[in-house]
Amino acid sequence: KQEVTQIPAALSVPEGENLVLNCSFTDSAIYNLQWFRQDPGKGLTSLLLIQSSQREQTSGRLNASLDKSSGRSTLYIAASQPGDSATYLCAVDFNKFYFGSGTKLNVKP
């Protein structure tokens, strides 16, 4: 059975810090990996999609890397802001998506 694990489960930091969120998965045969943001009571907002053949993707202050051989992905958030506070979900596409349990981020002003 495919498993996706995210650490830490929760993170609270002061504004301005650079952050690293971690995602690990048990099978290297993936189609792609996607990072999402979810605000309380809301749906998913896609942040970055990394195809199987890629090693990283960048969008603004966000950078996501993918290392299939080690089964890991990291989401790097630069210069965090209070508006970044949300739950961040890692989803791995093994021909169907399996989600990690998420990292709940709180950025304090």
Partner 1 sequence: GAVVSQHPSWVICKSGTSVKIECRSLDFQATTMFWYRQFPKQSLMLMATSNEGSKATYEQGVEKDKFLINHASLTLSTLTVTSAHPEDSSFYICSARDLRASGGRSTDTQYFGPGTRLTVL
Binding site for partner 1 (CB under 8 A): 31-32, 34, 36, 41-44, 46, 49, 89, 91, 93, 96-102
DSSP code, position 30: -
What's the closest the beta carbon of residue 109 comes to partner 1, in angstroms?
24
Residue closer to partner 1, measured from CB, 49 or 62: 49
- 3 φ/ψ angles, rounded to the nearest 5 degrees: -135, 140
| Residues 48-57 as b or e (16 or more Cβ within 10 Å = b) | bbbeeeeeeb
What's the closest the beta carbon of residue 104 comes to partner 1, in angstroms?
9
What's the closest the beta carbon of residue 21 comes to partner 1, in angstroms?
14
Here the tokens at position 11 are: 């993170």
